[in-house]
Structure 1
């Protein structure tokens, strides 16, 4: 047995920010034809998947506008170049479908208060909410903002964002660091009238502003839980809450304090558990004199400790290899060292890279270095501790069953089925262990054997293992994941023996679509020698009532048939086992009083290709004890 490795975690959030504001990442420019926009989007998602990311964070409401047909705000100008103009398709609908098809989570990124990056309301479409309610709007430093101090504004921006959550199958609502605007010398945010109207009981404008932001966070959290309890709520604030010189609860830093400058009490959001994850923008290098990356990781790790809030880290990929940045960012290993540091902080559950165009540019090979060092294996998304609660009985999907593992010119083709009559999985995790022995129990504690994740189609799935070495022996297993990423136990293993035409399959009495028996066959888990969780049993009778194991035989040939059963003195000394061969039905007796808890060979038989009942256990036998049907294994030998 081996020790799980922190260097290849099984669960690690790996996100890619895609900014739409000012066409920073996608679409590359306004006015592209719908087909071209969608092609660009697919290219971004393919890139994310190639880098073994498991989430994309895409800006769907950049500036009080929308990338979906919102009843509250106009179509965004980033799509067509003209605010309010229909782009000819539903970008958010396409985004959800295309991301999920690649088993990427879709985090819908919204900016709560920004109206426009200019100061001219007449440039907004005529029915824009900022024009219909000019009393909601404040001009500051050449830009337009909604006033966070007005209850009507808070209600409106929540309505606008929750609309996307209610109508689309998104995985999380995500905000960045824009609350009250960052301070600009010589400029005043003119909300004194709102403070006079709504600030009773607050001894300072700053405290009231923080209260306004806190209200927006808490109210949005409550509304999310009411609309879709499984959708997570995450915020990516400025990386410094407060400096220790100002507040003993702060970090050992000396930089802008978001608590004071933009009135974002991000520490409180965590401690109150209003959010599900916090992704502070730690856009400094290791050893930075004013804001050391290592110190901020330490501080945020301590801040989330004891809460259900996940800590993700926003990485400044945009700094790597850029002229004028600190010399540390000219080292292609800087980002990789950040993730190495995380091994010492189990509170850190993953990272987000800002932003797409910088990840794609891969300046100095910094992204390639990070991927090689830390994303060499796939990873499951961490379980959302704060959403969904404890799973109700039957809500977590049961193990799936592998139905095929066949060598093809392009690799090993796997197929599997979900269990019928149970919760439908959201995704599957595929594992490949070397050799044909039973998997090491610790093999699933890290990602060393995690082969891939695949989105559920509802009934099962398929995957081609293109990395399988020709002729090598492997053991494949598949688990099911629900939408909170809780994982089922693995279903029965599929063993692929060495050899170019090797084929082996195990069918258990629990294998979906693989076992059938009448009501006369009971279910028991009494014997410790069983295969899997239980087995079936019945009494001998002179009736035609066999239990059948159904197998997809990939090609006509010779197959060894092995059976597994528990053993007990009260079981039958000659339980009839039937094999459907190319020349007819063959019967073989098995003494089930002994030899249990292991594979026992029935013989080698000529089988035809196709899916059908292949091995049966018959009741037609003289009295002599219970007859058991538990599991069978077919292995091609010629």
Structure 2
């Protein structure tokens, strides 16, 4: 038996299996064959179109950027709360980008203005933060959609189209190519239609391929993800000229089949592109699609809805269908294995016919392929405006999915509905989901590799007042690690222990911070899942002792971002400073004003320099200052800023300079000027 007592920092290298504390039989893990699933996709969509799930960045200042970051981190907290492992983030909602692109403009849903640089690269940072939490980041793109409701449904719309395009950034492909657009109706009750890139144009396909290539080259995304948006509500007249040109060149397909083929060409092209880039760049990027749940009704329904091999038993022959309504032959994409996973949107109640039919039909379709099947669910249906599901509905949907070996997970639309329950039924249902998913699981493996050496992980352990940090070195033979944790000296039984965290092996060291009480002992047990799909037959045991040392935090260079200590009303006052902690403790900065008119502000997890903007209303302030307090959770230090006066309109410029000089030379002055 080897029990390692860790003080501050030590590198642990295990050279022999025989010295380990726990030895259990090795076995291959196949997830769906086990009552308790070891592998499972647990995702949620984060929609950015019209800022459904995350708001706009309020400017380009450091404070605005930090506020946006904090909102995304709060979203990741929700993912962790439910033990989700896949973030499906909409990075191309409207022919635009949430990342720095040379061919697509910055999104209006990021900055408020299309093309406006936000001052940083959000997607690069979001991917990094997502990976830190051992989740995947799937870049959700809408390939064709170029507008929301922008042009009339009926009649000539050329003038309205050009007027809309004039509002776009010059980098927008739609603005550059107004002749490569078609009109699609999303909701006829509005009287307005959307603009879509014309799927039949080779230039459109190439632009989409270039977009995907740019993302995979520049970013460490785990997958490219499409939803159900293809030929949405596009009247036959919109692309009849393209179809006639095809017919004149000898084409034999019907207009319907020709449209399907245009999308097929794109999907196959994306498959080939990603496969080539993965080989070239040494990556494992997947391609997944989340279509409408119904592929097509079965042949008992009339044409064009009824299709050979389609879904029988649907509530109606006219269910919204990817093949019939969207010209997206999702079944073909599965059979051809052009995609790595399919995630049908099965958003109806379990107690109506469609739900069970959709899940069971897709479960059968993927059986003879390598395509993974996940089911999209809709907790928003608990909202009263949809008549509300009963509490067991979503749980029964999941039980039905789990009854099929080929269903490898679920995704929830959308993250906001997991963040905020709108009624008691929804609250209970979401609590039931948390109970069901009460511990992490491994993501489905993308490939099975031959392992030449079953090496134990090399782990660096660091401890401070609030965290224990385990840093996992890259391990060529490992896929991931199951981390178990116990407080104190309790016993550990691998048969019934609950997984505390899952850490994926990456090319760079993975640094995992776990909240810890400084006066408590913690036991960590680490089991390796190797890249060939087998668990190691041993478990690492590490004991981390209480932390008894503390270095006080340091606060310096605190200042107000003004040259004159008399400020205008209705303005933002910038407070900045620098922090440091030798222990690496997470630091909290509190900014407390000397007047109750202004609100106290708190900044968490502060490192290095900090900047905070405080709104100064158009009121009189005499000798107001801020007390800045820095805390590491054990010790704190405080600094007081120089006082300021407001509003500047009360003072002549000469008085403003005199006040400033007097404060600088005699900071204890208590004079009231107005």
**Shorter-chain TM-score: which interval?**
0.5 to 0.7
Q: CA–CA distance in 2 between the matches of 1:64 and 1:348? A: 32
Find the partner of 1:151 among 185, 196, 202: 202
Any residues of structure 2 matched to 1:474-623 within 5 Å, and which?
A: 476-479=525-528, 489=536, 492-494=539-541
Using the size of structure 2 for normalisation, the TM-score is 0.64
Any residues of structure 2 matched to 1:2-41 within 5 Å, and which?
A: 6=34, 8-27=36-55, 33-41=64-72
- Tell me the matched-pair count: 474
- Does 2:178 correspond to 1:134? yes
Q: CA–CA distance in 1 between the matches of 2:513 and 2:182? A: 54
CA drift at 1:359: 1.5
Residue aligning to 2:165: 121
Q: CA–CA distance in 1 between the matches of 2:396 and 2:342? A: 21
- Does 2:270 correspond to 1:223? no
Find the partner of 1:400 among 453, 457, 469: 457
Residue aligning to 1:251: 311
Q: CA–CA distance in 1 between the matches of 2:76 and 2:260? A: 37
Q: 1:239, 1:282 within 8 Å by CA — same for their partners in 2?
A: yes
Q: 1:27, 1:78 within 8 Å by CA — same for their partners in 2?
A: yes
Residue aligning to 2:398: 339
Q: 1:399, 1:490 within 8 Å by CA — same for their partners in 2?
A: no
- Structure 1 residues 294 and 470: CA distance shift in structure 2, 3 A: farther
**CA displacement 1:51-77 (0-9 Å, x = unmatched):** 111110000011111111211111111
Moved more, 123-132 or 140-149: 123-132
Q: CA–CA distance in 2 between the matches of 1:211 and 1:295? A: 27
SS at 2:434's partner residue? helix
Q: CA–CA distance in 1 between the matches of 2:181 and 2:53? A: 28
Q: CA–CA distance in 2 between the matches of 1:51 and 1:27? A: 22
SS at 2:481's partner residue? strand
Residue aligning to 1:552: none
Any residues of structure 2 matched to 1:363-512 within 5 Å, and which?
A: 363=422, 364-366=426-428, 368-385=430-447, 390-391=448-449, 398-401=455-458, 413=468, 415=470, 418=473, 423=476, 428-431=481-484, 443=495, 449-454=498-503, 458-459=508-509, 461-462=511-512, 464=514, 476-479=525-528, 489=536, 492-494=539-541
Q: CA–CA distance in 2 between the matches of 1:126 and 1:189? A: 28
Q: 1:65, 1:76 within 8 Å by CA — same for their partners in 2?
A: yes
Q: 1:398, 1:489 within 8 Å by CA — same for their partners in 2?
A: no
Structure 1: tracts of 5 or more residues without a match: 502-638
Find the partner of 2:244 among 190, 196, 209: 196
Q: CA–CA distance in 2 between the matches of 1:165 and 1:69? A: 13
Residue aligning to 1:233: 287
Residue aligning to 1:515: none
SS at 1:139's partner residue? strand
- Does 2:408 correspond to 1:349? yes
- Structure 1 residues 307 and 331: CA distance shift in structure 2, 3 A: same
Q: CA–CA distance in 2 between the matches of 1:239 and 1:365? A: 26
Q: 1:124, 1:131 within 8 Å by CA — same for their partners in 2?
A: yes
Q: 1:11, 1:379 within 8 Å by CA — same for their partners in 2?
A: yes
Residue aligning to 2:92: 61
Higher relative contact order (CA 8 A, sep 6+): 2
Q: CA–CA distance in 2 between the matches of 1:344 and 1:469? A: 46
Q: CA–CA distance in 2 between the matches of 1:72 and 1:275? A: 25
Residue aligning to 2:156: none
Q: 1:103, 1:427 within 8 Å by CA — same for their partners in 2?
A: no
- Structure 1 residues 336 and 459: CA distance shift in structure 2, 3 A: same
Structure 2: tracts of 5 or more residues without a match: 1-23, 152-163, 186-192, 301-305, 547-674
CA drift at 1:39: 1.5
Find the partner of 1:267 among 331, 354, 373: 331
Find the partner of 1:301 among 347, 356, 363: 363
SS at 2:70's partner residue? helix
CA drift at 1:462: 5.0
Q: CA–CA distance in 1 between the matches of 2:497 and 2:433? A: 15
Moved more, 365-374 or 307-316: 365-374
Q: CA–CA distance in 1 between the matches of 2:208 and 2:524? A: 52
CA drift at 1:138: 1.6
Q: CA–CA distance in 2 between the matches of 1:10 and 1:393? A: 20
- Structure 1 residues 126 and 430: CA distance shift in structure 2, 3 A: same
CA drift at 1:302: 0.3
Moved more, 48-57 or 172-181: 48-57
CA drift at 1:259: 0.8
- Structure 1 residues 397 and 31: CA distance shift in structure 2, 3 A: farther
CA drift at 1:299: 0.7
- Structure 1 residues 353 and 460: CA distance shift in structure 2, 3 A: closer
Q: CA–CA distance in 2 between the matches of 1:467 and 1:216? A: 54
Q: 1:251, 1:299 within 8 Å by CA — same for their partners in 2?
A: yes
Using the size of structure 1 for normalisation, the TM-score is 0.67
Q: CA–CA distance in 1 between the matches of 2:511 and 2:111? A: 37
**CA displacement 1:372-417 (0-9 Å, x = unmatched):** 34211111111125xxxx52555x98331567699x9979x57465
CA drift at 1:34: 1.9
CA drift at 1:478: 3.2
Residue aligning to 2:223: 172
CA drift at 1:343: 2.4
Q: CA–CA distance in 1 between the matches of 2:253 and 2:470? A: 65
- Structure 1 residues 356 and 211: CA distance shift in structure 2, 3 A: same
Q: 1:475, 1:495 within 8 Å by CA — same for their partners in 2?
A: yes
Q: 1:402, 1:491 within 8 Å by CA — same for their partners in 2?
A: no
Q: 2:343, 2:374 within 8 Å by CA — same for their partners in 1?
A: yes
SS at 1:212's partner residue? helix
**CA displacement 1:43-97 (0-9 Å, x = unmatched):** 1112111211111000001111111121111111111111111111111111111
> Counting helix residues as a fraction of each chain, which structure ranks higher?
2
Moved more, 167-176 or 140-149: 140-149
